[in-house]
Chains A and B, each alone.
Chain A
Amino acid sequence: MRETRPAAYDSKIEGNVIFTRLDAAMNWMRKNSLWPMPMGLACCAIELMATAASRFDIARFGAEVMRFSPRQCDVMIVAGTVTYKMALAVKRIYEQMPEPKWVIAMGACASTGGMYRSYAVLQGIDQLLPVDVYISGCPPRPEALLEGLMKLQEKISAEPSFREQKRKLMEQLDEVMA
């Protein structure tokens, strides 16, 4: 009878090692430490602030570190009415965020223009940015934003982040070599 033995057993690290896929581990780290870019443009920003405050406590989901520098952010929460005057500034801030990055369109205005069928309002931020999660409401309650954040976490945990990254890297290398 063959004897099965662990490949490299070390009693010092017993119980401290888990085996997982690299993607799963990276996504787990990413989704539980989403640093939001609070793009507060109108009244939705008040609900965004309420979500960050103690009663609703977005820190329970690891997203409490509101950064006002786009270079330190993972997820942009577009909270409010995006006017045409502000639209390209929002896009610029999004482009300054490092990859990987996600966008939450919070509320009716950011999703579709909301009640502003107007000459001055962009009819949804998805005309400029790739939106991952839309949240309905005018404004959405903090619970809705938390639900949207959890939906985004689910989405992130299903992403083939590392595999895709490697495949893209190989393609880029092939292009450079060719």
Chain B
Amino acid sequence: MTGPELLASLGKLLGPKIQEKTEFRGETTFTILPGDLHEVAQFCKDELSFDYLLDITSVDNFGDEPRFAIVYELYSMTLAIHLRLKLRVSEDEGAVATVSDIWPTANWHEREIYDMMGIKFTGHPDLRRILMWDGYPYFPLRKEFPLEGLPSEMPDVAFTSAAPLEGGPFVTSPSTATAKDREPRARRPAL
């Protein structure tokens, strides 16, 4: 069975678990419900030979509901095809099932998402921060977190303070102007 055929039949096999199926430039994305994640992931690994979890990422759609999206990039070594699983998590729910028991590599990916976005993974064997230190009070990749950071203090561990941004965020202006005008710099927002 070739890749496209398998992906076409995937929809039938996973059946009602799939909320939405999108094709973009030969990339297949299945949107599923957070509650179905573990079951679908197990099925993908055992029955569909998606033996390699490339990456897990998270998206903060601030202002939308549900707020967060988590994206799983799967790859099959034997069939050389990609599959993307996507699910949406609301801020109130704030937790999905871990897949680190299915793909061990998910352990650190999920820790990173917890560290940066604050989404918890139920059943994770070791859900600690991975980049920032234990006790850091914020989730820095959330949209409401300012670019320059916020002050914090953990005695004898680490401290942070806000970085000077000189009155505005560093932004680029797309234009045909010279590099001097195009490059990222502090620009006051237009009134």
Contacts and interface: CB of A to CB of B under 8 A. Distances in A.
Q: Do A and B bind each other?
A: yes
A95 to B, nearest CB: 13
Interface residues of B, number: 21
A49 B140 CA distance: 33
Interface in A83-98: 84-85, 87-88
Question: Chain A binding site: helix, strand, loop or mixed by DSSP?
Answer: loop
Q: Is the interface of B mostly helix, strand, loop or mixed?
A: loop
Interface stretch (A38-46, A70-78, A115-123, A136-144): A115-123
Given A117-B163, A123-B164, A87 B158 contact: yes
A123 B158 contact: no
Contact of A120 (B146, B149, B157, B159): B149
B160 A88 contact: no
A120 B146 CA distance: 12
Contacts of B150: 119
A116 B165 CA distance: 11
Nearest to A116: B163
B133 interface: yes
Interface in B128-183: 131-133, 138, 140, 145-150, 156-161, 163-165, 170
A83 B170 CA distance: 20
Contacts of A121: 163
Interface residues of A, number: 12
Nearest to B138: A119
A84 B148 contact: no
B157 A88 contact: yes
Interface in A107-138: 113, 116-121, 123
Nearest to A127: B161
Contact of B164 (A85, A117, A119): A117
B5 to A, nearest CB: 46
B165 A88 contact: no
B170 A117 contact: yes
A170 to B, nearest CB: 35
A119 B158 contact: no
Interface of A: 84-85, 87-88, 113, 116-121, 123
23 contacts: A84-B158, A84-B159, A84-B160, A85-B131, A85-B133, A85-B158, A87-B159, A88-B156, A88-B158, A113-B163, A116-B163, A117-B148, A117-B163, A117-B165, A117-B170, A118-B147, A118-B149, A118-B163, A119-B138, A119-B148, A119-B160, A120-B149, A123-B164
